[in-house]
Amino acid sequence: MMKLNEKLNEYRNLTADELNSKLGDLKQELFNLRFQHAINQLENPQRIPAVKKDIARIKTILREMELKNN
């Protein structure tokens, strides 16, 4: 498993388009995890908060980029 700083550095090195693509993928994964949870087929329930945190991290980095460009 990646450490937090490694993950943040990886996200910060991506372009805005790549981050938006990753964000879409994570949102789809979160939807699938919630669906699996609803029908009691979720193997790792700790994955849901981890994906939510990754989504928040990416949104934060995108916002930082937006503010830096203004």
Q: What is the chain's pLDDT, residue by residue, as a tens digit (70 residues)? A: 567 788 888 999 999 999 999 999 999 999 999 999 999 999 999 999 999 999 999 999 999 999 998 7
From CA 53, how far away is CA 40, in angstroms rounded? 22
User: Percentage helix, strand, coil, to 5, in the chain?
Assistant: 80, 0, 20
Fold of the CATH domain 15-69: Helix Hairpins (1.10.287)
Determine contact, residues 30/48, Cβ cutoff 8 Å: yes
pLDDT at 1: 56
- Predicted TM-score (pTM) of the model is 0.89
The type of residue at 2 is M
Question: Max alpha carbon distance in the chain (Å)?
Answer: 46
Burial class (CB in 10 A: 0-12, 13-18, 19+), 48: middle
